[in-house]
Chain A
Amino acid sequence: MAQVEKRAGSLPATFEWEYAPAPEARDIVQIRERYGLFVGGEEVEPKTDQWFASVSPSTEETLFEVAQAGEADVALAVDAARDAFDNGWSALAPSERAKYLFRLARLIQERSRELAVAESLDGGKPIRESRDVDIPLAAAHFFYYAGWADKLEYAYPGRNPRPLGVAAQIIPWNFPLLMLAWKIAPALACGNTVVLKPAETTPLTAMLFADICRQAELPPGVVNLVTGDGATGAYLVQNEGIDKLAFTGSTEVGKLIMRELAGRDVKMTLELGGKAANIVFDDAALDQAVEGIVNGIYFNQGHVCCAGSRLLVQESIYEPLLEKLKRRLSTLRVGDPLDKNTDVGAINSKAQLDKISELVASGEAEGAEIYQPECRLPERGYWFVPTLFTNVAQSYRIAQEEIFGPVLSVLTFRTPEEAVEKANNTPYGLSAGVWTEKGSRILWMVERLRAGVVWANTYNRFDPTSPFGGYKESGFGREGGRHGLEPYLRFDE
């Protein structure tokens, strides 16, 4: 023991190393003062004559103004989409449709740096993620569905797949351009036209996408974009001219939409909230599991519907795993989204920050133990320190409700049966993670977990070829893969 103490005592003075700021240049994106609606291939002013500001969550500065679309604006957009559908797009040779999609994909790639900077400015996510995840995946979705456009007969042999008509699409603020791609690419590939409403707080990349549509010479009216708040979304849902509604967002709004569309002949897919379990067994590769846990909940500030927000740890490795996790948390770099070294960016909006703060306060009040690493946050902007809770009971709100922020609740289990039971004990069912070296246990778990996506020894990994969607109150319908075509087609059988 003496020898060990001697060596430990001989540790030299610490070496403090501050990384110098490494910001991505923001002048690659030209932001205009004002963006109108994109209807029938042209930018138009809203009939409401109302505009609202889009704020950068990392600085609270107003970046630009965007139109608030009213009922009449939405109706015009739906009419433009109907017109484009009836007069050309639906009758276009599928291989021609594919060409447009390939063009959109390539233009996204060409303008990827601009789009990445725009995404980080407007939404607050780290440039590392918008550059390496959001934008490349958005392009990949267009490439992938471009390939399906002229092969629908092979995807559904003998079923005569045909487009539905006008697809209304409402997307959230957590992955603005990526969600736009998830929605628009399969819809166009199947021969539909679309009216899409970007999220209220993150319309910038959609506005740039309008420009990309013009660059690609996409026929007018095939893609229409209407900006606005929840009211605009409601007008879109209520519009009689839509044939399909695709919504990604909160379970609360999802329920309202279902009520609204009950009894109407509108095909529907909903991708809603989640409270995923990330389950770590005692034989897992611990250091890599820690990386997966961090990626599962702190990726995109936890603004991820499939975030691994409940960590289930086998009790026998609880202590070493928590020690590793806390140490890792202290190395997360929170700050300027445009800095290439930032791991965790800004919370998307003031409203979201308030919601996270409220739920975290409830966790402390209910008796959970909070851990937050030491962390210097910028003075302006909306920020939340990466947080984890231990001593969490299944009944606490932080174990039940979707926080949609960088907050992890840690629970323990003893046996695989108990892990499954706890993981499934939620109204949601979007995703789950399993960490074990044992292949047979992965398969055993996958059979029992009621979640649309189960990741094994990885987390938050997305690919256009892989279907994504929920069980229970996480929604229905699948996006991505061959499965993602079906919600945009009708069949003669």
Chain B
Amino acid sequence: MAQAPALVGGFELPSGPRLPRIGSVDAVALEERAATLAKRSIKRESKVQALELAVRMMDLTTLEGQDTPGKVAALCSKAMRPDPLDLSVPSVAAICIYPSLVGIAKERLAGSGVKVASVATAFPSGQSPTEIKLAETRAVVELGADEVDMVIDRGAFLSGRYAKVFDEIVRVKEACGDAHLKVILETGELGTYDNVRRASLIAIAAGADFIKSSTGKVSPAATLPVTLCMMEVVRDVYAETGHVVGIKPAGGIRASKQAVQYLVTLYETLGPRWMTPDLFRFGASSLLNDVLMQLRKEKTGRYQSADYFTID
């Protein structure tokens, strides 16, 4: 069983080095900084560069009760070739789906380089016994998921049982084996940036490869300030220990303009080395078409009707 973290002195990574002090976050100044970064004016070639990167960073997502193999198959085609009229547009990073659809997605995406990410651990609430969460994790990995998006136990977190949260992540990480683990904090339920910072550190200490903001089922989902707050944690961890963690804002990012704002924030907070799908993802469904539309506009000089972009 993993060691529960002592909150006062900071955390240890599984491999030993000490994480930074927990510290605190000033909400007013954090939001002000995010607002300033959102005002950057990104034009022409720098915009095209950003939009193409945004496509490569996308976890194209469908997480609905009505998802079917047919729906997922269509999404897989879109993921591999987002714009059939412009083959220079790259594939997305991954598709993000429910466990029961991992099989079909794996089949469709075989050999394409597009990853399959599956949610697990009683998504979205996380309110199930740990054993069931572990079993679900093992199941999706067995089905072939490359990445696992787990949720933290917010009930435990908000009642101060941090050790329970930590412990569960450690065990899910073990169950993942070689699969990449993204830990969803569900920041919309945590209430304060201080809590977001604390939860981020717990997740990183417990072995998360990525910290992810939201399930998309709770409002607010990802916001620029909350993502900035998570980036600052990742920056502190890197500065202190050299340990590298990715970030995934998810939910609520629908417009290209927003995506560019997130990339500006990433660039000016963590620098050029984080500007890669290995370390940053967008969890989104409707964002892709807006990005495609903007890309086409930048390339041709004209906006085209939404009818020219496939709805999948």
Residues of A within 8 A of B (CB): 1-5, 7-8, 10-12, 14-22, 128, 132, 283-289, 291-292, 320, 323, 331, 340-341, 437, 457-458
A28–B243 Cα gap in the complex (Å)? 50
A16–B50 Cα gap in the complex (Å)? 11
Contact of B24 among A7, A11, A437 (CB under 8 A): A437
Q: Is B28 an interface position by the 8 A CB rule?
A: yes
- In the complex where A12-B276, A288-B25 touch, is A1 in contact with B17 (Cβ < 8 A)? yes
Residues on B with C-beta less than 8 A from A458 are: 28-29
Q: Is the beta-carbon distance between A12 and B273 smaller than 8 angstroms?
A: yes
A5–B41 Cα gap in the complex (Å)? 37
Contact of A4 among B32, B239, B242 (CB under 8 A): B242
Q: Is the beta-carbon distance between B15 and A285 smaller than 8 angstroms?
A: no
Contact of A292 among B29, B44, B53, B241 (CB under 8 A): B29
Q: Is B3 an interface position by the 8 A CB rule?
A: no
Closest 10 CB pairs of A and B: A288-B29, A15-B275, A22-B41, A288-B26, A285-B26, A14-B272, A340-B41, A20-B46, A20-B44, A3-B15
Residues on A with C-beta less than 8 A from B275 are: 14-15, 17
Q: Is the beta-carbon distance between B49 and A128 smaller than 8 angstroms?
A: no
Q: Is B254 an interface position by the 8 A CB rule?
A: no
Q: Is B14 an interface position by the 8 A CB rule?
A: yes
Taking the closest CB of chain B, its distance from the CB of A17, in whole angstroms, is 6
Q: Is the beta-carbon distance between A19 and B26 smaller than 8 angstroms?
A: no
A3–B244 Cα gap in the complex (Å)? 11
Taking the closest CB of chain B, its distance from the CB of A458, in whole angstroms, is 7
Q: Is B302 an interface position by the 8 A CB rule?
A: no
Q: Is the beta-carbon distance between B40 and A3 smaller than 8 angstroms?
A: no
42-97 of chain B: CB within 8 A of chain A: 42-47, 49-50, 53
A7–B209 Cα gap in the complex (Å)? 10
- In the complex where A17-B46, A20-B47, A288-B30 touch, is A1 in contact with B16 (Cβ < 8 A)? yes
Q: Which residue of the partner chain B has the closest CB to A323?
A: B239
Residues on B with C-beta less than 8 A from A10 are: 244, 278
A14–B276 Cα gap in the complex (Å)? 8
Q: Is the beta-carbon distance between A286 and B46 smaller than 8 angstroms?
A: no
- In the complex where A1-B15, A19-B46, A340-B39 touch, is A7 in contact with B26 (Cβ < 8 A)? no
- In the complex where A12-B276, A14-B272, A457-B28 touch, is A5 in contact with B43 (Cβ < 8 A)? no
Residues on A with C-beta less than 8 A from B44 are: 20
Q: Which residue of the partner chain B has the closest CB to A19?
A: B46
Contact of A331 among B24, B28, B268 (CB under 8 A): B268
A21–B23 Cα gap in the complex (Å)? 37
Taking the closest CB of chain A, its distance from the CB of B275, in whole angstroms, is 4
Q: Is the beta-carbon distance between A15 and B276 smaller than 8 angstroms?
A: yes
A10–B13 Cα gap in the complex (Å)? 18
Q: Which residue of the partner chain B has the closest CB to A332?
A: B268
Number of A-B pairs whose CB atoms are under 8 Å?
99
How does the 8 Å CB contact mask read for B260-285 relative to A, with 1 for contact and 0 for none? 00000001100111011011000000
Q: Is the beta-carbon distance between B23 and A285 smaller than 8 angstroms?
A: yes
- In the complex where A5-B242, A15-B53 touch, is A291 in contact with B33 (Cβ < 8 A)? yes
- In the complex where A12-B278, A457-B26 touch, is A7 in contact with B32 (Cβ < 8 A)? no
Residues on A with C-beta less than 8 A from B16 are: 1, 4
Residues on A with C-beta less than 8 A from B279 are: 12
Residues on B with C-beta less than 8 A from A286 are: 23
Q: A7-B243, A286-B23, A457-B28 are in contact. List 12 more A-B contacts (CB 8 A).
A: A1-B17, A4-B13, A5-B242, A14-B271, A15-B53, A20-B47, A132-B39, A288-B29, A291-B33, A340-B40, A341-B40, A457-B29
Residues on B with C-beta less than 8 A from A14 are: 271-273, 275
How does the 8 Å CB contact mask read for B218-255 relative to A, with 1 for contact and 0 for none? 00000000000000100000010111100000000000
A331–B232 Cα gap in the complex (Å)? 15
Residues of B within 8 A of A (CB): 13-17, 20, 23-26, 28-30, 32-33, 39-47, 49-50, 53, 232, 239, 241-244, 267-268, 271-273, 275-276, 278-279
A323–B17 Cα gap in the complex (Å)? 19
Q: Which residue of the partner chain A has the closest CB to B23?
A: A286
Q: Is the beta-carbon distance between A128 and B15 smaller than 8 angstroms?
A: no
Taking the closest CB of chain A, its distance from the CB of B240, in whole angstroms, is 8
Q: Which residue of the partner chain B has the closest CB to A294?
A: B33
A132–B32 Cα gap in the complex (Å)? 13
Q: Is the beta-carbon distance between A8 and B244 smaller than 8 angstroms?
A: yes
A6–B106 Cα gap in the complex (Å)? 28
Q: List 26 A-B contacts (CB under 8 A).
A: A1-B17, A4-B15, A7-B244, A11-B273, A14-B273, A15-B273, A16-B272, A17-B46, A17-B49, A17-B50, A18-B46, A19-B40, A19-B41, A22-B43, A284-B26, A285-B25, A286-B23, A287-B25, A288-B33, A291-B32, A323-B239, A340-B41, A341-B41, A457-B28, A458-B28, A458-B29
Q: Is the beta-carbon distance between A4 and B50 smaller than 8 angstroms?
A: no
Residues on A with C-beta less than 8 A from B271 are: 14
A390–B47 Cα gap in the complex (Å)? 38
Residues on A with C-beta less than 8 A from B23 are: 285-286
A1–B276 Cα gap in the complex (Å)? 24
Residues on B with C-beta less than 8 A from A331 are: 268
A21–B32 Cα gap in the complex (Å)? 24
Q: Which residue of the partner chain A has the closest CB to B44?
A: A20
A18–B242 Cα gap in the complex (Å)? 26
A246–B17 Cα gap in the complex (Å)? 59
A11–B276 Cα gap in the complex (Å)? 9
Q: Which residue of the partner chain A has the closest CB to B244?
A: A7
Q: Which residue of the partner chain B has the closest CB to A283?
A: B24
Residues on A with C-beta less than 8 A from B276 are: 12, 15
A17–B271 Cα gap in the complex (Å)? 10
Q: Which residue of the partner chain B has the closest CB to A16?
A: B272
Q: Which residue of the partner chain B has the closest CB to A8?
A: B242
- In the complex where A20-B47, A458-B28 touch, is A2 in contact with B15 (Cβ < 8 A)? yes
Q: Which residue of the partner chain A has the closest CB to B47?
A: A20
Q: Is the beta-carbon distance between A17 and B272 smaller than 8 angstroms?
A: yes
A458–B272 Cα gap in the complex (Å)? 29
Q: Is the beta-carbon distance between A4 and B243 smaller than 8 angstroms?
A: yes
Residues on B with C-beta less than 8 A from A284 are: 24, 26
Q: Is the beta-carbon distance between A3 and B14 smaller than 8 angstroms?
A: yes
Residues on A with C-beta less than 8 A from B50 are: 17
A3–B43 Cα gap in the complex (Å)? 40
Q: Which residue of the partner chain A has the closest CB to B241?
A: A4
Residues on A with C-beta less than 8 A from B53 are: 15
Q: Most chain-A Cβ atoms within 10 A of its Cβ — which of B13, B24, B39, B271?
A: B24
Residues on B with C-beta less than 8 A from A288 are: 25-26, 29-30, 33
Residues on A with C-beta less than 8 A from B49 are: 17
Residues on A with C-beta less than 8 A from B15 are: 1-4
Residues on A with C-beta less than 8 A from B26 are: 284-285, 288-289, 457
